[in-house]
C-alpha cells in the first residue's frame, strides 16, 4: 500500500512540474543597447534591459523590461547558429528617417538568435552592437 501511494505522489509531482512545458517555455537574458533603437515604431532608449521570450517552436513572443516596467512586446523568430554567441548582442538597421530599428537579439553563451521581422521602412544596412 505504501509503495502505491508513493508512486502516485511521484507521478502527480512529475505531471505538475512538466505542465510548464505544455504552456510554452520561458527564456531570459539581458541586453545592453549602446544607442536608441525602435521596435515596431516605438523608441527604446539606450540602456540595459531584461529580455524574455515565451513560446515553443520557432515563433516566440519577446518582452523587454526596464526594471519592473515592460518597455516593448513583439513577435520574433528563433534561429540557431552553428557557433555559440560570445556575449549578449543585438543587430540594428538604418531606417529612412535616420533612426535605427532593432533587427535581432543574440543570446550570449547560446546558439540562439531572436530575429525581428523588418518593417517596410527598414533599409538593408545593419550593424551589430555588443554587450
C-alpha dihedral, 117 to 66 to 21 to 115, nearest 10°: 20
In the chain, which stretches have pLDDT less than 70?
1-25, 118-131
* Predicted pLDDT of residue 128: 53
* Predicted pLDDT of residue 14: 46
Tell me if 126 sits within 8 A of 103, measured CB to CB.
yes
* Predicted pLDDT of residue 37: 97
* Predicted pLDDT of residue 25: 62
CA–CA–CA angle 51, 130, 82 (5° rounding)? 80
* Predicted pLDDT of residue 117: 74
Contact partners, residue 98, CB within 8 Å, separation at least 6:
none
CA–CA–CA angle 98, 105, 28 (5° rounding)? 140
Put residue 12 in one of left, alpha, beta given phi > 0 → left and psi -120 to 50 → alpha: alpha
Query: What are 6's three cell numbers?
Result: 508513493
Amino acid at each position: 500500500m505504501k509503495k502505491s501511494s508513493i508512486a502516485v505522489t511521484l507521478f502527480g509531482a512529475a505531471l505538475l512540474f512538466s505542465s510548464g512545458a505544455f504552456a510554452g517555455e520561458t527564456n531570459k537574458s539581458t541586453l545592453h543597447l549602446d544607442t536608441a533603437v525602435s521596435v515596431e515604431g516605438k523608441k527604446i532608449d539606450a540602456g540595459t534591459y531584461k529580455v524574455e521570450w515565451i513560446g515553443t517552436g520557432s515563433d516566440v513572443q519577446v518582452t523587454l523590461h526596464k526594471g519592473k516596467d515592460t518597455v516593448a512586446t513583439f513577435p520574433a523568430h528563433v534561429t540557431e547558429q552553428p557557433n555559440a554567441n560570445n556575449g549578449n548582442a543585438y543587430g540594428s538597421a538604418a531606417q529612412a528617417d535616420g533612426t535605427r530599428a532593432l533587427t535581432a537579439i543574440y543570446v550570449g553563451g547560446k546558439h540562439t538568435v531572436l530575429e525581428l521581422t523588418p518593417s517596410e521602412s527598414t533599409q538593408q544596412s545593419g550593424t551589430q552592437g555588443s554587450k
